[in-house]
Protein backbone atom coordinates (compact mmCIF):
# COMPACT_ATOMS: atom_id res chain seq x y z
CA UNK A 1 0.00 0.00 0.00
CA UNK A 2 1.30 3.44 -0.91
CA UNK A 3 2.26 5.84 1.86
CA UNK A 4 0.21 9.03 2.15
CA UNK A 5 0.80 12.76 1.76
CA UNK A 6 -1.98 15.12 2.87
CA UNK A 7 -1.92 18.72 1.64
CA UNK A 8 -4.09 21.10 3.64
CA UNK A 9 -4.35 24.86 3.08
CA UNK A 10 -5.95 27.46 5.35
CA UNK A 11 -7.72 30.33 3.53
CA UNK A 12 -8.60 33.28 5.75
CA UNK A 13 -8.78 37.04 5.49
CA UNK A 14 -9.90 39.07 8.53
CA UNK A 15 -12.11 42.11 8.53
CA UNK A 16 -9.43 44.64 9.45
CA UNK A 17 -10.51 47.45 11.75
CA UNK A 18 -10.21 51.08 10.81
CA UNK A 19 -8.54 53.59 13.12
CA UNK A 20 -11.21 54.00 15.79
CA UNK A 21 -10.54 56.78 18.25
CA UNK A 22 -11.89 57.27 21.76
CA UNK A 23 -14.06 60.13 20.52
CA UNK A 24 -15.72 57.83 17.96
CA UNK A 25 -17.27 55.73 20.73
CA UNK A 26 -21.02 56.17 20.69
CA UNK A 27 -20.92 58.25 17.51
CA UNK A 28 -19.75 56.09 14.59
CA UNK A 29 -20.31 52.35 14.55
CA UNK A 30 -18.68 51.44 11.25
CA UNK A 31 -15.65 49.53 12.45
CA UNK A 32 -13.95 48.22 9.31
CA UNK A 33 -11.22 49.55 7.06
CA UNK A 34 -12.99 48.85 3.78
CA UNK A 35 -10.19 50.31 1.67
CA UNK A 36 -7.50 48.15 3.29
CA UNK A 37 -9.69 45.05 3.17
CA UNK A 38 -10.46 45.51 -0.52
CA UNK A 39 -6.87 46.41 -1.47
CA UNK A 40 -5.30 43.49 0.38
CA UNK A 41 -7.92 40.99 -0.77
CA UNK A 42 -7.58 42.00 -4.42
CA UNK A 43 -3.78 41.84 -4.21
CA UNK A 44 -3.73 38.36 -2.66
CA UNK A 45 -6.38 37.15 -5.09
CA UNK A 46 -4.16 38.09 -8.04
CA UNK A 47 -0.91 36.88 -6.47
CA UNK A 48 -2.12 33.70 -4.77
CA UNK A 49 -5.71 32.50 -5.01
CA UNK A 50 -6.29 32.77 -8.75
CA UNK A 51 -2.93 31.43 -10.02
CA UNK A 52 -2.61 28.74 -7.36
CA UNK A 53 -6.16 27.50 -7.88
CA UNK A 54 -5.48 27.27 -11.62
CA UNK A 55 -2.24 25.39 -11.00
CA UNK A 56 -4.05 22.86 -8.79
CA UNK A 57 -6.92 22.52 -11.25
CA UNK A 58 -4.48 21.77 -14.06
CA UNK A 59 -2.67 19.19 -11.93
CA UNK A 60 -5.95 17.48 -11.02
CA UNK A 61 -7.03 17.27 -14.66
CA UNK A 62 -3.64 16.16 -15.95
CA UNK A 63 -3.35 13.47 -13.27
CA UNK A 64 -6.96 12.32 -13.74
CA UNK A 65 -7.77 13.01 -10.13
CA UNK A 66 -4.60 11.68 -8.49
CA UNK A 67 -3.75 15.18 -7.31
CA UNK A 68 -5.70 15.75 -4.11
CA UNK A 69 -5.80 18.70 -1.78
CA UNK A 70 -7.83 20.06 1.11
CA UNK A 71 -9.00 23.56 2.04
CA UNK A 72 -10.55 25.31 4.99
CA UNK A 73 -12.04 28.64 3.89
CA UNK A 74 -13.43 30.89 6.60
CA UNK A 75 -16.74 32.67 6.36
CA UNK A 76 -14.89 35.97 6.77
CA UNK A 77 -12.88 35.18 3.63
CA UNK A 78 -15.96 34.04 1.70
CA UNK A 79 -17.75 37.31 2.52
CA UNK A 80 -14.81 39.32 1.20
CA UNK A 81 -14.52 37.18 -1.93
CA UNK A 82 -18.18 37.89 -2.63
CA UNK A 83 -17.66 41.59 -2.08
CA UNK A 84 -14.29 42.22 -3.72
CA UNK A 85 -13.24 39.23 -5.86
CA UNK A 86 -16.11 36.91 -6.91
CA UNK A 87 -13.83 35.28 -9.46
CA UNK A 88 -12.04 33.61 -6.54
CA UNK A 89 -15.28 31.88 -5.54
CA UNK A 90 -15.67 30.66 -9.11
CA UNK A 91 -12.14 29.22 -9.12
CA UNK A 92 -12.77 27.33 -5.87
CA UNK A 93 -16.05 26.02 -7.29
CA UNK A 94 -14.16 24.58 -10.26
CA UNK A 95 -11.88 22.77 -7.82
CA UNK A 96 -14.87 21.47 -5.86
CA UNK A 97 -16.41 20.07 -9.05
CA UNK A 98 -13.38 17.84 -9.67
CA UNK A 99 -14.15 15.64 -6.65
CA UNK A 100 -10.45 15.67 -5.76
CA UNK A 101 -10.71 18.53 -3.28
CA UNK A 102 -12.03 18.30 0.25
CA UNK A 103 -13.44 21.29 2.16
CA UNK A 104 -13.14 21.22 5.94
CA UNK A 105 -15.43 22.65 8.58
CA UNK A 106 -14.22 25.23 11.10
CA UNK A 107 -15.45 28.33 12.92
CA UNK A 108 -17.17 30.71 10.51
CA UNK A 109 -15.27 33.78 11.72
CA UNK A 110 -11.92 32.07 12.49
CA UNK A 111 -12.37 32.60 16.21
CA UNK A 112 -11.34 31.37 19.65
CA UNK A 113 -14.94 30.51 20.48
CA UNK A 114 -13.90 26.95 21.40
CA UNK A 115 -12.08 28.53 24.35
CA UNK A 116 -14.66 31.19 25.17
CA UNK A 117 -18.21 29.92 24.65
CA UNK A 118 -19.38 26.44 23.69
CA UNK A 119 -22.79 27.61 22.39
CA UNK A 120 -21.14 30.28 20.23
CA UNK A 121 -18.55 27.77 19.02
CA UNK A 122 -21.21 25.27 17.99
CA UNK A 123 -23.23 28.02 16.29
CA UNK A 124 -20.24 29.14 14.23
CA UNK A 125 -19.32 25.61 13.19
CA UNK A 126 -22.86 24.98 11.95
CA UNK A 127 -22.93 28.38 10.24
CA UNK A 128 -19.68 27.59 8.47
CA UNK A 129 -20.88 24.13 7.46
CA UNK A 130 -24.00 25.67 5.90
CA UNK A 131 -21.87 28.24 4.04
CA UNK A 132 -19.62 25.55 2.51
CA UNK A 133 -22.70 23.62 1.41
CA UNK A 134 -24.18 26.75 -0.16
CA UNK A 135 -21.03 27.91 -1.95
CA UNK A 136 -19.53 24.61 -3.09
CA UNK A 137 -22.30 22.02 -2.90
CA UNK A 138 -20.38 19.73 -0.54
CA UNK A 139 -20.88 18.88 3.13
CA UNK A 140 -17.72 19.02 5.28
CA UNK A 141 -16.93 15.71 6.96
CA UNK A 142 -13.67 16.59 8.70
CA UNK A 143 -12.86 19.46 11.05
CA UNK A 144 -10.02 21.81 11.80
CA UNK A 145 -10.34 24.44 14.48
CA UNK A 146 -9.02 27.98 14.18
CA UNK A 147 -5.20 27.88 13.97
CA UNK A 148 -5.37 24.10 14.55
CA UNK A 149 -6.36 24.74 18.18
CA UNK A 150 -7.23 21.44 19.83
CA UNK A 151 -7.67 19.84 23.23
CA UNK A 152 -9.40 16.74 24.52
CA UNK A 153 -12.45 18.84 25.43
CA UNK A 154 -12.60 20.49 21.99
CA UNK A 155 -12.22 17.11 20.32
CA UNK A 156 -15.15 15.75 22.29
CA UNK A 157 -17.28 18.78 21.39
CA UNK A 158 -16.72 18.39 17.66
CA UNK A 159 -17.13 14.61 17.82
CA UNK A 160 -20.56 15.16 19.36
CA UNK A 161 -21.28 17.45 16.41
CA UNK A 162 -20.57 14.59 14.02
CA UNK A 163 -16.91 15.18 13.06
CA UNK A 164 -14.90 11.98 13.36
CA UNK A 165 -11.74 13.37 11.72
CA UNK A 166 -9.84 16.35 13.14
CA UNK A 167 -6.67 18.10 11.98
CA UNK A 168 -4.33 19.58 14.56
CA UNK A 169 -0.69 20.30 15.35
CA UNK A 170 1.93 17.64 15.97
CA UNK A 171 3.14 19.47 19.07
CA UNK A 172 6.35 17.99 20.46
CA UNK A 173 5.40 18.55 24.09
CA UNK A 174 2.28 16.44 23.51
CA UNK A 175 3.81 13.76 21.30
CA UNK A 176 6.95 13.18 23.31
CA UNK A 177 8.75 10.33 21.55
CA UNK A 178 5.82 9.68 19.20
CA UNK A 179 5.87 10.72 15.52
CA UNK A 180 3.34 13.12 13.97
CA UNK A 181 3.34 10.88 10.90
CA UNK A 182 0.60 8.53 12.09
CA UNK A 183 -3.12 8.81 12.74
CA UNK A 184 -4.11 8.93 16.41
CA UNK A 185 -7.30 8.47 18.43
CA UNK A 186 -8.88 11.21 20.52
CA UNK A 187 -8.61 10.76 24.29
CA UNK A 188 -12.23 11.60 25.17
CA UNK A 189 -13.54 10.48 21.78
CA UNK A 190 -11.73 7.20 21.01
CA UNK A 191 -13.48 6.78 17.65
CA UNK A 192 -12.21 10.16 16.47
CA UNK A 193 -9.09 10.14 14.28
CA UNK A 194 -6.49 12.89 14.61
CA UNK A 195 -4.21 13.92 11.75
CA UNK A 196 -1.17 15.88 12.93
CA UNK A 197 0.82 18.52 11.10
CA UNK A 198 4.44 17.70 10.37
CA UNK A 199 5.76 21.08 11.48
CA UNK A 200 9.30 20.74 10.17
CA UNK A 201 8.38 19.75 6.62
CA UNK A 202 5.42 22.16 6.47
CA UNK A 203 7.49 25.12 7.66
CA UNK A 204 10.24 24.31 5.16
CA UNK A 205 7.78 25.56 2.54
CA UNK A 206 5.73 28.06 4.53
CA UNK A 207 8.56 29.96 6.24
CA UNK A 208 11.99 28.85 5.01
CA UNK A 209 11.52 28.39 1.26
CA UNK A 210 12.91 31.78 0.16
CA UNK A 211 15.33 32.29 3.08
CA UNK A 212 18.75 32.53 1.47
CA UNK A 213 20.33 32.21 4.90
CA UNK A 214 18.82 28.74 5.34
CA UNK A 215 21.40 25.97 5.03
CA UNK A 216 19.08 24.02 2.70
CA UNK A 217 18.37 26.90 0.33
CA UNK A 218 17.49 26.55 -2.48
CA UNK A 219 14.81 23.94 -1.83
CA UNK A 220 14.14 21.83 -4.91
CA UNK A 221 11.23 19.48 -5.48
CA UNK A 222 13.39 16.35 -5.71
CA UNK A 223 15.23 17.21 -2.49
CA UNK A 224 11.98 17.87 -0.69
CA UNK A 225 10.33 14.67 -1.91
CA UNK A 226 13.37 12.74 -0.69
CA UNK A 227 12.84 14.23 2.80
CA UNK A 228 9.15 13.29 2.72
CA UNK A 229 9.88 9.73 1.60
CA UNK A 230 12.57 9.42 4.28
CA UNK A 231 9.96 10.28 6.91
CA UNK A 232 7.62 7.69 5.41
CA UNK A 233 10.10 4.81 5.51
CA UNK A 234 8.71 3.74 8.88
CA UNK A 235 5.64 5.98 9.22
CA UNK A 236 2.23 6.18 7.53
CA UNK A 237 1.47 9.76 6.47
CA UNK A 238 3.08 13.19 6.16
CA UNK A 239 0.62 16.02 6.74
CA UNK A 240 1.71 19.27 5.11
CA UNK A 241 -0.49 21.99 6.61
CA UNK A 242 0.04 25.70 5.86
CA UNK A 243 -1.59 29.02 5.01
CA UNK A 244 -2.64 29.15 1.36
CA UNK A 245 -1.16 32.65 1.15
CA UNK A 246 2.24 30.93 1.35
CA UNK A 247 2.01 30.71 -2.44
CA UNK A 248 2.57 34.09 -4.04
CA UNK A 249 2.04 36.29 -0.98
CA UNK A 250 4.35 35.12 1.83
CA UNK A 251 6.68 33.41 -0.64
CA UNK A 252 6.80 35.69 -3.65
CA UNK A 253 6.38 34.38 -7.21
CA UNK A 254 9.99 35.33 -7.97
CA UNK A 255 11.14 32.83 -5.34
CA UNK A 256 10.00 30.00 -7.61
CA UNK A 257 7.33 28.76 -5.20
CA UNK A 258 4.79 27.98 -7.95
CA UNK A 259 7.26 25.97 -10.01
CA UNK A 260 8.37 24.15 -6.88
CA UNK A 261 4.80 23.17 -6.01
CA UNK A 262 4.04 22.03 -9.57
CA UNK A 263 7.22 19.94 -9.79
CA UNK A 264 6.72 18.42 -6.34
CA UNK A 265 3.12 17.46 -7.11
CA UNK A 266 4.06 15.91 -10.47
CA UNK A 267 6.81 13.88 -8.81
CA UNK A 268 4.43 12.55 -6.15
CA UNK A 269 1.81 11.67 -8.77
CA UNK A 270 4.40 9.72 -10.76
CA UNK A 271 5.93 8.00 -7.72
CA UNK A 272 5.15 4.34 -7.07
CA UNK A 273 5.56 4.58 -3.29
CA UNK A 274 3.54 7.65 -2.24
CA UNK A 275 0.20 9.26 -3.08
CA UNK A 276 -1.85 12.32 -2.21
CA UNK A 277 -4.90 11.81 0.02
CA UNK A 278 -7.54 14.07 1.52
CA UNK A 279 -8.09 14.01 5.31
CA UNK A 280 -11.24 11.91 5.01
CA UNK A 281 -9.44 9.44 2.76
CA UNK A 282 -6.57 9.27 5.23
CA UNK A 283 -8.97 8.60 8.09
CA UNK A 284 -10.52 5.70 6.19
CA UNK A 285 -7.15 4.33 5.13
CA UNK A 286 -5.18 4.54 8.39
CA UNK A 287 -5.45 2.70 11.69
CA UNK A 288 -4.63 4.88 14.73
CA UNK A 289 -1.18 4.16 16.13
CA UNK A 290 -2.14 5.24 19.66
CA UNK A 291 -4.40 7.47 21.72
CA UNK A 292 -3.28 11.10 22.04
CA UNK A 293 -4.03 12.92 25.28
CA UNK A 294 -4.17 16.73 25.00
CA UNK A 295 -5.35 18.19 28.34
CA UNK A 296 -4.43 21.81 27.47
CA UNK A 297 -5.08 23.52 24.16
CA UNK A 298 -2.41 23.33 21.46
CA UNK A 299 -2.15 25.20 18.16
CA UNK A 300 0.18 25.55 15.18
CA UNK A 301 1.45 28.98 16.28
CA UNK A 302 4.92 29.90 17.52
CA UNK A 303 7.57 27.75 19.18
CA UNK A 304 5.31 26.89 22.12
CA UNK A 305 2.52 25.47 19.93
CA UNK A 306 -0.06 26.65 22.48
CA UNK A 307 -2.56 29.53 22.62
CA UNK A 308 -0.24 32.21 24.03
CA UNK A 309 -0.11 33.90 20.62
CA UNK A 310 -3.68 35.08 21.37
CA UNK A 311 -4.07 34.83 25.15
CA UNK A 312 -0.53 35.15 26.44
CA UNK A 313 -0.70 38.59 28.05
CA UNK A 314 -3.09 40.68 30.12
CA UNK A 315 -4.11 42.88 27.19
CA UNK A 316 -5.28 39.89 25.20
CA UNK A 317 -7.05 38.21 28.10
CA UNK A 318 -8.84 41.45 29.02
CA UNK A 319 -10.10 41.93 25.46
CA UNK A 320 -11.07 38.24 25.19
CA UNK A 321 -12.99 38.21 28.47
CA UNK A 322 -14.87 41.45 27.77
CA UNK A 323 -15.82 40.26 24.30
CA UNK A 324 -17.24 36.90 25.39
CA UNK A 325 -19.00 38.51 28.33
CA UNK A 326 -21.43 39.83 25.70
CA UNK A 327 -22.69 36.38 24.67
CA UNK A 328 -25.44 36.20 27.27
CA UNK A 329 -26.74 39.68 26.48
CA UNK A 330 -26.67 39.06 22.75
CA UNK A 331 -28.65 35.85 23.21
CA UNK A 332 -31.59 38.06 24.24
CA UNK A 333 -31.49 39.92 20.93
CA UNK A 334 -32.42 39.05 17.39
CA UNK A 335 -30.27 41.74 15.84
CA UNK A 336 -28.46 40.63 12.68
CA UNK A 337 -26.11 43.62 12.57
CA UNK A 338 -24.96 43.13 16.15
CA UNK A 339 -24.44 39.41 15.69
CA UNK A 340 -22.42 40.02 12.53
CA UNK A 341 -20.18 42.57 14.24
CA UNK A 342 -19.81 40.23 17.21
CA UNK A 343 -18.61 37.52 14.85
CA UNK A 344 -16.04 39.74 13.16
CA UNK A 345 -14.81 41.11 16.49
CA UNK A 346 -14.10 37.52 17.52
CA UNK A 347 -11.65 36.98 14.66
CA UNK A 348 -8.48 35.66 16.23
CA UNK A 349 -6.36 38.12 14.23
CA UNK A 350 -7.37 41.02 16.49
CA UNK A 351 -5.90 39.26 19.53
CA UNK A 352 -2.86 38.11 17.55
CA UNK A 353 -2.01 41.74 16.81
CA UNK A 354 -1.77 42.35 20.59
CA UNK A 355 0.89 39.69 21.13
CA UNK A 356 3.96 40.97 22.99
CA UNK A 357 6.38 38.21 22.03
CA UNK A 358 9.62 39.78 20.86
CA UNK A 359 11.99 36.84 20.74
CA UNK A 360 12.00 33.82 18.43
CA UNK A 361 8.48 34.46 17.15
CA UNK A 362 8.51 38.25 17.05
CA UNK A 363 9.39 38.49 13.36
CA UNK A 364 6.48 36.24 12.41
CA UNK A 365 4.02 38.34 14.38
CA UNK A 366 5.36 41.54 12.83
CA UNK A 367 4.89 40.08 9.34
CA UNK A 368 1.12 39.82 9.82
CA UNK A 369 0.55 42.89 12.02
CA UNK A 370 -0.76 46.21 10.61
CA UNK A 371 -0.09 48.00 13.92
CA UNK A 372 3.24 49.47 15.00
CA UNK A 373 2.90 48.08 18.53
CA UNK A 374 0.69 45.57 20.38
CA UNK A 375 -0.54 48.41 22.57
CA UNK A 376 -1.87 50.35 19.59
CA UNK A 377 -3.73 47.21 18.52
CA UNK A 378 -5.19 46.83 22.00
CA UNK A 379 -6.32 50.47 22.30
CA UNK A 380 -7.93 50.51 18.87
CA UNK A 381 -9.71 47.20 19.49
CA UNK A 382 -10.96 48.23 22.92
CA UNK A 383 -12.36 51.49 21.51
CA UNK A 384 -14.31 49.44 18.95
CA UNK A 385 -15.41 46.95 21.61
CA UNK A 386 -16.57 49.76 23.90
CA UNK A 387 -18.77 51.14 21.14
CA UNK A 388 -20.10 47.65 20.41
CA UNK A 389 -20.99 47.07 24.09
CA UNK A 390 -22.83 50.41 24.14
CA UNK A 391 -24.89 49.30 21.15
CA UNK A 392 -25.69 45.96 22.78
CA UNK A 393 -26.77 47.64 26.01
CA UNK A 394 -28.87 50.19 24.10
CA UNK A 395 -30.55 47.42 22.09
CA UNK A 396 -31.42 45.55 25.29
CA UNK A 397 -32.73 48.77 26.85
CA UNK A 398 -34.96 49.42 23.83
CA UNK A 399 -36.15 45.83 23.90
CA UNK A 400 -37.08 46.18 27.56
CA UNK A 401 -39.09 49.31 26.76
CA UNK A 402 -40.86 47.57 23.89
CA UNK A 403 -41.74 44.58 26.04
CA UNK A 404 -43.02 46.85 28.80
CA UNK A 405 -45.00 49.21 26.58
CA UNK A 406 -48.16 47.08 26.05
CA UNK A 407 -48.40 46.42 29.78
CA UNK A 408 -48.28 50.13 30.62
CA UNK A 409 -50.92 50.91 28.03
CA UNK A 410 -53.34 48.34 29.49
CA UNK A 411 -52.80 49.66 32.99
CA UNK A 412 -53.55 53.19 31.86
CA UNK A 413 -56.83 52.09 30.35
CA UNK A 414 -57.86 50.37 33.56
CA UNK A 415 -57.23 53.59 35.43
CA UNK A 416 -59.34 55.49 32.94
CA UNK A 417 -56.64 57.74 31.56
Pairing of β 237-243 and β 274-277: unpaired
How far is it, in rounded angstroms, from Cα 247 to Cα 205? 9
Per-residue DSSP letter, 298: B
Contact 149, 112 (CB under 8 A): yes
Note if 245 is an active site residue: no
Which residues have a Cβ under 8 Å from the Cβ of 29 and sit 6 or more positions away? Answer: 341, 387, 388, 391
- Torsion (CA) 298, 302, 307, 312 in degrees, nearest 10: 150
Pairing of β 183-186 and β 291-292: parallel
Pairing of β 183-186 and β 193-197: antiparallel
How far is it, in rounded angstroms, from Cα 196 to Cα 169? 5
How far is it, in rounded angstroms, from Cα 257 to Cα 412? 75
- Torsion (CA) 372, 378, 380, 385 in degrees, nearest 10: 160
Neighbour-count burial of 337, counting CB atoms closer than 10 A to its CB (0-12 exposed, 13-18 middle, 19+ buried): exposed
In sequence order, the β-bridge partners of residue 143 are: 105, 166
Candidates 102, 120, 147, 275; catalytic one = 147
Just list the catalytic residues.
147
Amino acid sequence: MKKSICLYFQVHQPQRLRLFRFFDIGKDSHYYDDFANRTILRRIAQKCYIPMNQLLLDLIKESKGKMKVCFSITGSALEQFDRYAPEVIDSFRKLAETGSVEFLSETYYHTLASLGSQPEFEHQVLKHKAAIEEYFGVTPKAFRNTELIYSDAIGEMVYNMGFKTVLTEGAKHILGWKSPNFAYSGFLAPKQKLLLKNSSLSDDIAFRFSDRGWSEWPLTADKYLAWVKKALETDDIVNLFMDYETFGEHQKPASGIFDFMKNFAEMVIADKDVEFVTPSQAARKLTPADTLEVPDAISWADEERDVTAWLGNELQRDAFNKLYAQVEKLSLLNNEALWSDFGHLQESDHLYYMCTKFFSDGAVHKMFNPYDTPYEAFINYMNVLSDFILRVDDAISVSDVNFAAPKKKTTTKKKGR
